[in-house]
Structure formats: structure tokens, C-alpha cells
Structure 1
């Protein structure tokens, strides 16, 4: 953890956050060199069921947070991610703290729904894949951007051609990877244009 703090900073307090369903959430208050504080949030998958899925989920979350940086959409900033628990006790993601509170009931929904709708418009207005956006504007079918998901365009074409014919493409391992890639939304921790 200390390698992600600035020189002279240290963790002065931790607090369990409530509302996390799949992971334990802790607010880490960091004391700064000038005597102030700043907050980080550590999201850790500790339940064995969620640990099994943590690598994929944390890579997706890290990719989404990185994508949202500088967009104006309120989101925490990514500090670090350890999706396989190589350095942490559990698979974890460290991010900046975003002020607010978790609301799980209908209290104030008349006010929240329009705010959420505006946020969804802002999120869906993002264009994370320039090559994909250009191909859509030019009327070409949106094949995967090379290197984005780790499955090349030929595999995507074979899988999608097979689906159009009602079959499964050639039926080999590569086609199943392309189909899985198209459903999964990410491969190798990077966002996928179909997901």
C-alpha cells in the first residue's frame, strides 16, 4: 500500500464502508506531509465466490475508471489494482474517495431519477474506441479494434458469420473465444467494443 502513497504520507485511520454487496470497502484516511488528509477507498473481494470472479471484475472496473478520468463524469480515480492478490491479502482495487452516500431505498427517488438519467446520458455520450466510432460513422460493421480484446478480426468474422447462418462458425476453439469475447465485454482486462 505504501508504494501508492506520496512521500511523507501515511495511513492514519481506516473505516469500514457500508453498502458494498460483492466486496468489503474501506475508507483509508491518509495523512499528508502538510498536516492535511485525503481519503482513498480500498475495495477487496474476500468471499470465496467473489474471489473466483475478482480478476475479471476488477480489471473491468479499473478499465472503466481509467476511461472516465477527465471526462466530467463523477467517478473515483484509479490508484492501483491487484486483481490476482499478488501483493494484497485479497484481490483489491484502490481508488480515490468520491463524496456521497449509498442509497438502497426509494427515499428521494423523485429527485434522484432525473439526476441519474443525466449521468447516464453523459456516460453513453463517451466514445472510448475511436476506430470503432469512425467505422460506425462510415457505415462499416463494427469489428473489434485490433489488439483491444486479444481476439483478431478474422475470428470475430467467423463467429459472427456462423451466428448469422444459424450455426456456430467453424466450431473450433478460436470461434468459441470470439463468441465469448463478444458476450463478455472484456478480454485481458481491456474494454471491448461489443461489451
Structure 2
């Protein structure tokens, strides 16, 4: 019997378990499957096993969101390619092991990778040191010598159809942001970007970043999309001042992409969140971050919008 964390039956199909054993190699055994918290668009598991008497650990991601798969049916292939690209470039990414691209064997498209040591930290003891680490590894990513990918950046929202949100208390700021975004982007150098870079996708060990996870959206595109996306997350978690401190830390890091200074990327990234009224990200709750409310998120996002317009 393969057990999950609380000792009950396995959360994975027998076909998936058999596939995992084949990937682990002859003489391997799956001992425990532990669902991991923090993700909301796929199922992620820690796989603990043994091979020839030695303990081994892997991470399995299964893409279970049917709507997302309908839009991007190559998600497993995409993440496998991104993992390989990042790992071989020397970035702190998991190593890709195997994939069931279509889900023909496992029932869902699946990607198996190595497990990285470390933990997510959302309440750092020293915010300035934490921000330096967050910014530094992102600059390293943007400066990495990586192979070309067939996946390129695209905006999540219809930029032409953007409208001022009905919940805002600062409609004029949002109007100016939308107008600037609709003017089009400044010039930039396409490079490897993570595309979902934020604190919940970083692991820490002994005060340093030990890993970057969740590479399924990685592609070639503008570095400002990474800094902008991270800043919106930081605004919601801690406020505008922390988001500004992160950008300053990034820009003074060797290898950083100076084009992120253009406020366009922050504005564009903010409009990515115009898909409904502000709410607290479930992943933060799952990771134990408490104290946020939709009202706090709304006020912080509005304050951020005003600050971005002031930079114009």
C-alpha cells in the first residue's frame, strides 16, 4: 500500500504509480505520496521512494485544469522544456526526469522532476535581505545563457478591450494606466523569463534562495514581465513600499535588465489582474499567510496604481 501524508490510501491512480516506478528505475519502490500545498491550477505531489536501498524523492505535477488544458494542450511539454532549459543553464531549477505529455498513461498530462531542498518563506525575518535574494536570483535568470524556446510571451488579457475596474476608488489612475498600456510596449531584448515569478515560487535554505519552481509558463519575452508580476504580488502581500524596494534591489544587481525601469511593464503586469474583483490568493492561504482580506488587497492595488501613474 502506498500511503499519503495522513496514512490513508493513495491519491494517485495505480497506472500513475506504475509509471512512476518505471521512471525511477529497476529495483525502485514508491513508499509515500504527499500532496503539496501552494498550487491552485494543478495537482502537485512529493513522491518518496527507495531504489536499491537508497531513499529518493521526486515531485510530480499533474495538469488537472481542463479549461487551462483546452487553451494550452501542450502544458506538460512546455514545462518539461522549460525545466531542461533552466537546469542546463545552471539556474536553481528542478531537473526534468520524465513526462506523460498527453496523459495517455497517467490519466492527466504529467511531469516528473527532482525535488529541491528548501521552503517557501512569506514572512521573512529581515525583509531587506529577503528582497535582495528575491531580486538577485531573478537577475541571474535574466542574464542566463539559455537555449531558444518555441514558447514566446503573450499578454493574458485583451489589451484593446481593457476597462477601468468597477471596484476601484481611483478610476482616473486606472484610466491612465490602460491608456499607456494600449499605446504599446517600449523596445526590449527578448530573454528567458519565468512568467510567474513571485515569492510563493521560491524556496529558501540557510538564508539563501535554493530553488525556483513552477516553470510551466516560462518563455522568451520581456524581463519587465517578471519584475512587474512579482511587484504586483509584493504589493498585495506587503504594500507598495516593499514592491518598490524589490525593484530597486533588482536594478542594482549585476546582470539585471535595465529596461524594466520603464513603468510600462509594471502597468501591463497590473492589468493582468483585471479578471475580477480583488481577492486573496488561495496559494498564500495554503502556505499559512494570514491577515489579508479582499478590502486590503483592493486598497493596496489602488495605491499601487496611483504610484505608477505618478511615475509618468
Q: TM-score of the superposition, structure 1-length normalised? A: 0.61
Structure-2 residue corresponding to 1:89: 107
Distance 1:24 1:7 in 2: 26
User: In the superposition, relative to structure 1, how do residues 43 and 193 fare at CA in structure 2: closer, same or farther (>3 Å)?
Assistant: closer
The answer on whether the counterparts of 1:65 and 1:77 sit within 8 Å (CA) in structure 2 is yes
1:74 counterpart = 2:92? yes
Distance 2:72 2:49 in 1: 26
Aligned 1:1-150 pairs, distance under 5 A: 1=19, 2-33=21-52, 35-53=53-71, 55-103=73-121, 105-108=122-125, 109-129=127-147, 149=150
The answer on whether the counterparts of 1:54 and 1:83 sit within 8 Å (CA) in structure 2 is no
Structure-2 residue corresponding to 1:156: none
Question: SS where residue 69 of structure 1 aligns?
Answer: helix
Distance 2:150 2:72 in 1: 18
The answer on whether the counterparts of 1:54 and 1:84 sit within 8 Å (CA) in structure 2 is no
Question: SS where residue 26 of structure 1 aligns?
Answer: strand
Structure-2 residue corresponding to 1:188: none
Question: What is the aligned residue count?
Answer: 139
Q: TM-score of the superposition, structure 2-length normalised? A: 0.39
The answer on whether the counterparts of 2:59 and 2:113 sit within 8 Å (CA) in structure 1 is yes
Describe the superposition over 1:26-82 as per-residue Cα deviations: whole angstroms up to 9, x where unpaired: 00012110x221111110122322332453332222111111224331110001122
Deviation (angstroms), 1:85: 0.8
Distance 1:20 1:192 in 2: 20
**Runs of at least 5 residues in structure 2 that lack an aligned partner in the other structure:** 1-18, 152-189, 194-217, 223-312
The answer on whether the counterparts of 2:57 and 2:115 sit within 8 Å (CA) in structure 1 is yes
Question: SS where residue 73 of structure 2 aligns?
Answer: helix
Higher relative contact order structure (alpha carbons within 8 Å, sequence separation ≥ 6)? 2
Deviation (angstroms), 1:125: 1.5
Aligned-residue Cα RMSD (Å) equals: 2.9
Distance 1:15 1:54 in 2: 27
The answer on whether the counterparts of 1:55 and 1:83 sit within 8 Å (CA) in structure 2 is no
The answer on whether the counterparts of 2:42 and 2:65 sit within 8 Å (CA) in structure 1 is yes
Describe the superposition over 1:140-179 as per-residue Cα deviations: whole angstroms up to 9, x where unpaired: xxxxx8xx649xxxxxxxxxxxxxxxxxxxxxxxxxxxxx
